[in-house]
Amino acid sequence: MTFATKRFGILTSGGDCPGLNAAIRGVCRAAYDKYGMVGVGFANGYRGLINGDYRVLRREDFWGILTRGGTILGSSREKPFKIEGSDYDVVEEKISSIKENYRDLKLDCLVVLGGNGAHSTAYKLAQEGLNVVGLPKTIDNDVQGTERCFGFHSALSIATEAIDRLHTTAQSHNRVMVIELMGHKAGWLALYAGVAGGGDVILLPEIPYNAKIIGEHLKKRLQEGKGFSIVVVAEGAMSCKEAAMDKKERKRRRENVSIGYRVAQEIKSETNMETRTTVLGYVQRGGVPSASDRALATSLGVAAADLLACGEYNRMVRLSNDRVTSVDLSVPARKTKTVPPDHYMIAAALAVGVCLGR
Ligand code: F6P
């Protein structure tokens, strides 16, 4: 039986996350064993595709990697279509190198594991004539078109465990502990980890906060005899004042102080309570993938191999209504998926008395 794809390229682009290697394994084991395909792995995301930095993958390359964090291929934030300054020629050179390497390596398709930026590039490459299949990865969970990205669940577990640990020290010292979580411009990680970790205040980029309202909430807890509180802050969260600024001014203002420290200062001046800040940072991206992420990444990887075999190109595999299907690449290439104000997790947080800062 012949299949539409005989040789495919594969790369991982953007911030790494647990589950990438499980996804690579899912794609390759199905492609090699079910369809007799051969994979060419590019190093460090799109940079390897531009520079022709690749290796033909042997079966032993993707054996025993299900539980390994990070990515065996390496990653980068290379954006081939991004014009630095007014240097249009550089973009043109990068795109022609990509096309040349794709052709010289006799690839039938390129498999991209990435977030928003990676899929935006994938969509543009499809418009340039390459065949591309995408898999949604990021701890931010902000890729349009899929209910969940692999990496999110692992980061959620890490962040929740950190919040659990902060509870004991906050209680021992009667302090307000502020923890800043990743998530880029979306609040998924902070919202879910805040609810799972029993946060008293959760601040999201989607809901600009008013420091006075936070202060009132914490003072009310104090009057009720709760001398400690946990404040979960998404790295993209902003005050109402900042939300009213233009993008450049807001960026400049945020350059020096991480939002978690700023919120702690604001709480201190509103309540005079003792506060401490933890920025969880890259710990959320490291280590072994959770069971859920391993299973999701594997199923998405296998679904991508099926698309390769049928020649259903220029689509992203995704989770929808608890089924693995696919969607046109133009969908994830659009703006990021942020938390809608009527999301059930927002309602749940409010129902258990969480303050969302407004
Ligand atoms: O996209 C994942 C992510 O961890 C974001 O949550 C975070 O804002 C960003 O990557 C950090 O980027 P970098 O790894 O380039 O420092």
Break the chain into its structural domains and give their ranges: 7-150+289-328, 156-285
Residue 282 phi/psi, 5-degree rounding, is: -75, -10
Residue 349 CA from chain centroid, whole number: 22
Strand partners, 134: 112, 316
Tell which atom from ligand 1 comes closest to the C-alpha of 189. Answer: 6
pLDDT tens digits, residue range 63-108?
A: 999 999 999 999 999 999 999 876 789 999 999 999 999 999 999 9
For residue 336 the two structure tokens come to 């990021």
Assess whether 140 carries a catalytic annotation. yes
Q: Where are the beta strands (DSSP E) in the chain?
A: 7-12, 38-42, 54-56, 109-114, 132-136, 176-181, 201-203, 229-234, 275-279, 315-320, 323-328
CB of 44 closer than 8 Å to CB of 20:
no
Q: How far is the CA of 339 from the centre of ligand 1 (A)?
A: 18
pLDDT tens digits, residue range 274-318?
A: 999 999 999 999 999 999 999 999 999 999 999 999 999 999 999
Distance CA 82, CA 227 (A): 50
Longest dimension (CA), the chain: 73
Task: Point out the catalytic residue in the list 140, 142, 200, 293.
Answer: 140
CATH architecture for residues 7-150+289-328:
3-Layer(aba) Sandwich (3.40)
pLDDT tens digits, residue range 234-288?
A: 999 999 999 999 999 999 988 889 999 999 999 999 999 999 999 999 999 999 9
Domain 156-285 top-level CATH class: alpha beta
pLDDT score at 121: 98
Which of 139, 143, 235, 283 most suits a substitution to test ligand 1, by most atoms within 8 Å of the C-beta?
Answer: 139
Same CATH topology for 7-150+289-328 and 156-285: the answer is yes
pLDDT score at 85: 77
Residue 34 CA from chain centroid, whole number: 30
Distance CA 258, CA 264 (A): 10
- With a 6 Å cutoff on the Cβ, whether 184 touches ligand 1 is yes
Q: How far is the CA of 60 from the centre of ligand 1 (A)?
A: 30
Three-point CA angle 24, 27, 29, nearest 5°: 100
Question: pTM for the complete prediction?
Answer: 0.97
Quickly count: other Cβ atoms within 10 Å of residue 319's Cβ.
Answer: 19
Q: Residue 154: which of 336, 286, 12 has the closest Cα?
A: 286
Q: How far is the CA of 104 from the centre of ligand 1 (A)?
A: 33
- With a 6 Å cutoff on the Cβ, whether 133 touches ligand 1 is no
Q: What is the mean pLDDT of the chain?
A: 97
- With a 6 Å cutoff on the Cβ, whether 15 touches ligand 1 is yes
Which of 75, 156, 184, 280 most suits a substitution to test ligand 1, by most atoms within 8 Å of the C-beta?
Answer: 184
Give the 3-state secondary structure of residue 85: coil
For residue 179 the two structure tokens come to 């923890």
pLDDT score at 86: 67
